[in-house]
Structure 1
Amino acid sequence: MMRRLPLWPTLIVGLAVALMVALGVWQIRRAHWKEALLAQYATAAGRPPIAFPAVPPTDGSLLFRRASAMCLQPTAWSARAGSNRAGEPGWRHLALCRTGAEGPGMLVDFGWSRDFAAPAGARGGRVSGVIDSDRDHILLLVAETPAPGLAPSARPSPENIPNNHRAYAVQWFLFAIVALAVYAVALRQRWIGRPPK
């Protein structure tokens, strides 16, 4: 006789597997989105330089563009973990720069060092470099020429942005297969222990 599937366990496993498959499909869509975004960033890196905007957009459309601006005076310094162009770990030195009598100013990565302390003698002036974003997604200008006493920070590059979404999709699909296999084994063990009705 035919074995009957238990209703609630089968329903729960079915819903869990459906959710895992849906998450896998979502990760594949995210992979396509990320590939398009990385292509946009790669194109931006090859476009002509622009003036760093007074009010940077928040959509990421300027990331990896070359730009320049006038830092009249650094007003506040912060150090954040980062690397130099050789990949050595240390501290990136960021300064909030005054750009005029009014306005929000701009954030500039003036360079890298092994020392956490703010660089001595760093002054304002024209800054040219590449637009990047900090950990809070605020746009900043990574200076091509570092301030005195600093080495150049690592160049921002779209190649440093991971695209792991396909691997995540494979993981979700494997989880779904494993869940089905485990449930099939559990059903088999249950049926072996009971005679069919």
Structure 2
Amino acid sequence: MRRVIIPLLFGILGTAVLVALGVWQVQRLAWKEGLLADIEARIAATPVALPAEPDPERHAFLPVEVTGTMENRALRVLVSRKSAGAGYRLVSPFEIDGRRILLDRGFIRVSKDIPAPPDGRVAIIGNLRWPDDRNASTPENDVAGNTWFARDLGAMAAELGTEPVLVVARETSYSDGPVTPLPVDTSHIPNDHLGYAITWFGLAAIWVVMTGYFLWRGRRTDKGTTP
């Protein structure tokens, strides 16, 4: 009996742990889907005026409509798009009635020259963003060579003399070709919980099969040694 009970208890305990982890990931999946739905609703809401004191917590993804003038400077942030290959995000100073903020104009291929800014006042609809582009493997920005590897708002604001506030353009009243806007969306937010859940449930199934195999082999051994 001992040769049966110990593997059986071990199998039940291991299966329970693995199933619990799978259930937890299913719960996390529901939480993440709700979070993404909330962010998407905020992104698509009716644009408002730029807050006097934008806050990263309260105003994350807030859609805004701003009118002002764009300066003839642009920082280049290295990015890659599946359909276009390597290129840059262009970040320029944008002045709104005495306030200077950062404007993410969009994507341009590395082979293209930075276009001159539009003349006069223009209107832009976009979203406030405090990007978290940097990780442990991100190189330091080459400020002198104007090649940035992350949208570090503090450093960019210091370089361009603006507030550390970034509007990512979605719609504009002018043509900025060959720059293509890269509107804010939720594609940068990982949601791998379904894959994790499938992995844990799959391991639980394997654990059950292996437990059954050990019990079966133990019984065959017992039968073979019984006189």
TM-score, normalisation: structure 2: 0.60
The one-character-per-residue Cα deviations of 1:152-185 (angstroms, maximum 9, x if unpaired) are 1333334775644234323211210111111211
Kindly report which structure 2 residues correspond to 1:113-152, keeping only aligned pairs within 5 A, or say none.
Answer: 113-115=108-110, 119=114, 121-122=116-117, 128-131=124-127, 132=129, 134-136=131-133, 140-143=166-169, 144-145=171-172, 148=176, 150-152=178-180
What code does the residue aligned with 1:110 have? R
- State whether residues 83 and 92 of structure 1, in contact with CA within 8 Å, keep that contact through their aligned partners in structure 2: no
Between stretches 119-128 and 166-175, larger displacement belongs to 119-128
Match of 1:68 in 2: 65
Shift of 1:52: 4.1
The one-character-per-residue Cα deviations of 1:125-151 (angstroms, maximum 9, x if unpaired) are 766243255343878422234885542
Cα distance in 2 for partners of 1:134, 1:57 equals: 10
Kindly report which structure 2 residues correspond to 1:180-195, keeping only aligned pairs within 5 A, or say none.
Answer: 180-195=208-223
What code does the residue aligned with 2:91 have? A
- State whether residues 72 and 97 of structure 1, in contact with CA within 8 Å, keep that contact through their aligned partners in structure 2: yes
Match of 1:168 in 2: 196
Between stretches 34-43 and 187-196, larger displacement belongs to 187-196
Match of 2:103 among 105, 108, 112: 108
Q: SS state of the match for residue 79, structure 1?
A: strand
Match of 2:32 among 31, 34, 49: 34
Cα distance in 2 for partners of 1:41, 1:4 equals: 54
Shift of 1:11: 5.3
Shift of 1:49: 0.6
What code does the residue aligned with 2:29 have? A
What code does the residue aligned with 2:16 have? A
- State whether residues 93 and 118 of structure 1, in contact with CA within 8 Å, keep that contact through their aligned partners in structure 2: no
1:93 and 2:89 are equivalent in the alignment? yes
- State whether residues 92 and 153 of structure 1, in contact with CA within 8 Å, keep that contact through their aligned partners in structure 2: no
- State whether residues 111 and 150 of structure 1, in contact with CA within 8 Å, keep that contact through their aligned partners in structure 2: no
- State whether residues 90 and 115 of structure 1, in contact with CA within 8 Å, keep that contact through their aligned partners in structure 2: yes
Cα distance in 2 for partners of 1:13, 1:118 equals: 64
Percent of aligned positions with the same letter in both sequences?
26
Kindly report which structure 2 residues correspond to 1:36-55, keeping only aligned pairs within 5 A, or say none.
Answer: 36-53=34-51, 54-55=53-54
TM-score, normalisation: structure 1: 0.67
Q: SS state of the match for residue 168, structure 1?
A: helix
- State whether residues 103 and 168 of structure 2, in contact with CA within 8 Å, keep that contact through their aligned partners in structure 1: yes
Unaligned runs of 5+ in 1: none
Shift of 1:115: 0.4
Q: SS state of the match for residue 156, structure 1?
A: coil
Question: Number of residues paired by the alignment?
Answer: 189
Cα distance in 2 for partners of 1:31, 1:93 equals: 31
